[in-house]
Amino acid sequence: MKKIKEEQKIKEIIDKLRPFLISDGGNIEFIKYENNIVYIKMLGACAGCELIDFTLKEGIEGAIKEEIPSVKEVINITEIQNNQYL
């Protein structure tokens, strides 16, 4: 899959997951896809939730990797203080 197709598919997967996050008072924003790493930003209640690591790795990353095996990981830039990934 080419990068543009992969990025579009990632956005589609995130859009499918978004209603579940919104129902818990959160949201997710796609930032970029680079070097097989997906950068997202967790918003609202998700940003400070104790279950963020589980949601990110088991939910979001798992769903994306299932459909796009070339994805290495999903990184939540909300947790990055120095904005090195932006």
Reply yes or no on whether the pLDDT at 82 is more than 50: no
pLDDT for the residue numbered 79: 66
2-49 confidence digits (pLDDT tens): 878 999 999 999 999 999 999 989 999 999 999 999 999 999 888 778
What's the CA dihedral at 38, 80, 55, 16 to 10 degrees?
A: -40
Q: All domains of the chain, ordered by start, with CATH? A: 3-79 (3.30.300.130)
With cut-offs at 50, 70 and 90, classify the pLDDT of residue 1.
low
> Nearest-CA neighbor of 43 among 60, 58, 67?
60
